[in-house]
Structure 1
Amino acid sequence: MKALVHKNQKGLSGLVYTEFEEKGPKPGEVRIKLITAGLNHRDLFVMERHQPSDPPLIIGSDGAGIVEAVGEGVNNVIVGNEVIINPGIGWKEKSDAPPEGFEILGLPFHGTFAEKVTVPAENAVPKPAHLTWEEAGVLSLAALTAFRALFTRGRLKEHQRVLIPGIGSGVATFLLQFAKAVNAEVYVTSRSEEKGQRARKLGAVQAINSNEDWNRQLDNQKMDLVIESVGAATFNKSLNQLRTGGTIVTFGASAGDQIQLDLRKFFYGQYSFFGTTMGSSEEFTEMIQFINKHKIRPIVDKMFDLNQFEHAFERLNKAEQFGKIGFRINSLSD
């Protein structure tokens, strides 16, 4: 089968589109013919973590397709099922933190940037009927991250104010859609006027210029919840917009991971601060139910053929996207 394989060098220079051995499912597993897959910032990080001395690795965490083979003992999935993939391996129940041994598809296990992928049967989840294949393939990792950040960690409620710095990423667009679905007031920041306009069309109350004074632009309005993924460049600005007793949740640090924190201001403000990554299988089920109930559709930025991977990664690296970048892999007629 054809696959995007990382080997021999760190970074994007080690990624090649090539033939790779296809393997059948073991007991408890299913093999899926992938129709589409989604690109994440995690894929960039994986190519830095995966060492040249490690065995070749198919990267990629998101995907959707059709089950074509089932292993011994599998009774919850049958050949022909249309499924999306939960990329989290080994985190079943909702908890404060993932258990020891939790992993994400695409490192250390082979991932979804291939014509086929084999996963535990429990990770093959029925595809929401209202989603196209393009939408289904880019859903899982970013949507689950957003769902846990907002509802499990952030405990967002109706009519609360939530701030999302750096609108445009896949997770950020899910945060906006999920928060709007529960009638929260959503505010976003961006350096791009175009991205701000698109966020307003999706229901953001206000989109402010992240390079200018946030408090002035927001007319001194304070937030109940801030979901931070930018990092050091915006963290203290985000904290400054939080109401007394408010909550800040962080899951990323693309603009630096070292901050200076005024502890006295923090404890006098009675703030709550949570970290989060991905989510459990239980939360994945809750998220799919939420998406089905509210008929939420991922914002698909652009789709590429798998052999056009360099263009896809370049777009992600330059932060040109609004929503999710994806790959077309197999057609339904193949």
Structure 2
Amino acid sequence: MFEDFSAQSTPSREACLAALESADVYLLLLGPIYGHVFPETGQSATHDEWVRAQQLGKPRLVYRKVGVRFAPEQQDFSRIVEAYATGVFRDSFSDSAELQTKVAQALRELESKPSPLDYKRLTQQPALTWIAEDNRIHPFNNSQEFLLELHVLPMDSPGYSAREMSQFSDSLVKRVRSTEYFESGRSLDLSKSQDCAVVRIGSGRRSAWDKPQSWEIREVLLHKTGQISTRATLPVDGLGSILDAEALPRQIAEMLRLTGALGIFQQGRVVVAVGVPSKMSLSVDTFDPHRSRTRAQPLGFGSSVGVYRTEPDESVSLAALEAGADEVGRDLSRALFAQLPV
């Protein structure tokens, strides 16, 4: 609660979301009132926290108060929370004593659960599409800006018929917007071909080549094969893009969770892989959001490799796109760094 925070120089919203990041579990109590709508986000503080908890892959426990009349805005928020594809199953409560008992039981169950991730060895190499190497997709891309690409391919998928591809393509912008990963002011532009649909996401910041900038997701691609790809900028400063060993696992995990939040994969297993083109302006270093580096050693010098990428030899359960995203992000990051010249 706001009253539990001491005086801080950090903006209130930033302080609350930072506190959420340090939490083990996100507990949401739905009462009748939605709360104040902040002009910066167009939604309440609680709604902000819900979106961030989903992005971070936090375990979410939701309890709805019974016997009260929900305001229209709160009813709309409840539908988002309970959405089949991207929400959670929720419980209810009538008073604090019942709530305490239910929450305590839920926490014990969470603690005793085994890891949701389940790996299985692949018997053959999956047919992944690497965007930087696919001439059919290049017209949609700006290869100077988009660097990191993450791919999720469903196992044993026959792909989509022309009719199915058309339906998914038409709904892709709505699916990306409904994840609430992007501010309402950011543009979403759809491009389509027979083999691929691409949603390009406008930048959420002003361009400043001489100032450090953190990473951003800039594209979501749906392939006719069933593969979903996301492309993102890397952290960048005046000397180019940076592969940061600490930041990269978190970036990959968030891209995985965005893929899951689209609600396209409902069951089965997936193969995941990550890659980055060998560019002259790319280097391995530590990103400092407050100042640019004074020197860098680019990876692209003398390299004959087109894309540094992981080669998957296992499939994984869909938990990789939510609760297990952090673990998979760390594994993929280590595997990618192992491909780099040292």
TM class by smaller structure: under 0.3
Length-normalised TM-score, structure 1: 0.27
Q: Report the structure, 1 or 2, having the larger strand content.
A: 1
- Give the structure with higher Rg (CA): 2
Length-normalised TM-score, structure 2: 0.27
